[in-house]
Structure 1
Amino acid sequence: MNPMAKRSNWQIQRDVIYSLLIREMKTRFGKWRLGYAWALLEPALHIMVLATIFNLIGRSFYPGIPTVLFMLGGIAPFLFFSHCLSKGIAAVSSNRGLFNYRQLRPFDTVIARVFLEFSVYILCMLVLMIILAWVGVFVPFGDILLLFEVNILFFCFCFGLSLVLCVLGEKHPEISKVIPLVNRPLYFISGVFFSLEQIPEEYHQYLLWNPLLHVIEITREGLFASYEGKFSNFQYLIFSSMGMLALGLLTYRAYWRDLVRSQ
């Protein structure tokens, strides 16, 4: 290939995002002694702690689904969402010096961060399910197409939200203090360790406004043949994901020059 050949905009964009992905991987895992193993250990430790607590109190989550698998179907999506919040809000401040390069914009740093977290989320879920199946903890698989669809929508939702937070985090730095306060209650109301069927229906009208709850319910329906997320709403998830993506793109388009000029 001629090094002097003119590259297309798509080739430049691809190389920029690839370079940012490598940089993010080194930043994300290089500072830990456990390195890439931490990507598996983080959800595994969450599952072990919560599964142990609920087993000690004698509580089962869903008939026919082992506790650790049920927990995996909630913890893995939530950790992806949680990481996108923190990575999105710091996307500009963490990469400020890179914007001196004309080819690189804040949009690239956000998509690289979200794509890396999404890849880690999918890989962790797959590897942990294989490990659990190897030790004898498995159930019949659900619907692979449904699982694919819900994760594409989930990616769009988190990417749009990360773009919004990218702008808000730069214009209002104090919002980074609010994110953990929002994240903690979401952990308890998003279905991480309960099924919506176990909640009295009079509370559904409040809980079902949360798109993350629909993601987790439909993810479990896709993972486990015996799980029926009958109270989840796929159309609502489509609407909220596309709406958040549109909001993120419009917010970024309106303020991206301010993000670059704020160096």
Structure 2
Amino acid sequence: MRPSPTRTIWQIQRDVIYALLVREMKTRFGKWRLGYAWALLEPALHIMMLAAIFNFLKRDFYPGIPTTLFMLGGIAPFLFFSHCFYKGIAAVASNRGLFNYRQLRPFDAVLSRVLLEFSIYILCMITLLVLLAWFGIRVEFGDFLLLVEVNILFFFFCFGLSLALCVAGERYPESSKILPLIVRPLYFVSGVFFSLEQIPVEYHPYLIWNPLVHVIELTREGLYANYEGKFSNFKYYIFTSIGTLTLGLLIYRAHWRDLIRSQ
């Protein structure tokens, strides 16, 4: 009988992440009657609700871009951010029993959650753009390379933030009640349903400190050829994304053993 070949550390890591991804998918969508369709319905319902309100008010947000598409460029990125925020805080508590296995660490739990949310975010964007185009709601596509760069950096940003939040959520249990309160006001000041061009210039110095504003502005610039994110700052966005990832990794590195011992 031939002995089974020894797996490399990268193969083990791949299998761990895959197993966690499958587990997360079943946990998140298995309890819903609509199943995986809910991943598409959530942003679609947000968009339809806001589009209906602003169509009723007869307001057109940006020349040449239908309101529904304009909302999609803001709601989809924000939902990805908010899901990573909530999932990051609860990453250790939700997978506590699994850390008895030597191959699995809190880092893997956070990475699998962010990967799943990122995959859902990208698939939803593509599916909704195709569906809207099928219904005749379309615009000329913008800068695809910019869109790819923005989303890679957005993944880094959300992953770094989730790593820091997983430590905070476990070390300071009160933070799991307090930190989610930050997400709600961010919804109204991150450009989800407005462009910075529509905001008086005197308020820009306060809004542009928010990295989500630059994410949404640059996403719309990449998606729509006739959208120009005049007040977005790509260099600032690179700095905040890499900085957040670095900070999250350092915080996790300093506390990961405490996360294992706390079970």
> How far is 1:226 from its partner?
0.2
Equivalent position SS for 1:44:
helix
Q: Give the distance between the partners of 1:167 and 1:71, measured in 2 at CA.
A: 33
Could you say which residue in structure 1 is the equivalent of 2:237? 237
Structure 2 matches for 1:216-235, cutoff 5 A? 216-235=216-235
1 CA distance for matches of 2:119 and 2:137? 24
RMSD: 0.8
Residue 77 of structure 1 and its aligned partner are, at CA, apart by: 0.1
The TM-score, its normalising length taken from structure 2, stands at 0.99
**Shift in CA distance, 3/124, structure 1 to aligned 2, threshold 3 Å:** farther
The reply to whether residue 69 of structure 1 matches residue 69 of structure 2 is yes
Quote the Cα distance in structure 1 between the aligned partners of 2:229 and 2:143: 12
What's the CA shift string for 1:12-66, capped at 9, x where partnerless?
A: 0000000000000001111100000000100000001111111111111100000
Give how far 1:250 is off. Answer: 0.2
What is the number of equivalent residue pairs in this alignment? 262
Which residue is equivalent to 2:53?
53
Give the distance between the partners of 1:180 and 1:173, measured in 2 at CA. Answer: 12
For 2:207, the aligned partner's letter is L
Q: How far apart, in 1, do the equivalents of 2:189 and 2:212 lie?
A: 9
Alignment-mate amino acid for residue 123 of structure 1: L
Output the amino acid matched with 1:255: H
Cα distance in structure 2, aligned partners of 1:173 and 1:3: 47
Alignment of 1:157-172 (within 5 A): 157-172=157-172
Residues 1:97 and 2:105 are matched in the alignment: no
Tell me how far apart the structure 2 counterparts of residues 202 and 179 of structure 1 sit (CA, whole Å): 29
Q: Distance in 2 between matches of 1:179 and 1:127?
A: 32
Identity of aligned residues (%): 77
- Runs of 4 or more, structure 1, over 2 Å off, are none
**Residue type of the partner of 2:103?**
Q
Offset, 1:179 = 2.7
User: Which residue is equivalent to 2:178?
Assistant: 178
- The superposition leaves residues 55-113 of structure 1 with CA deviations (integer Å, 9 ceiling, x where unpaired) of 11111110000000000000000000000011000000000000000000000000000
Quote the offset at 1:3 in angstroms. 6.5
Match of 1:132 in 2: 132
Query: What CA distance in whole angstroms lies between the structure 2 residues aligned with 1:179 and 1:141?
Result: 37
**Structure 1-normalised TM-score?**
0.99
Matches within 5 A, 1:1-263: 4-263=4-263
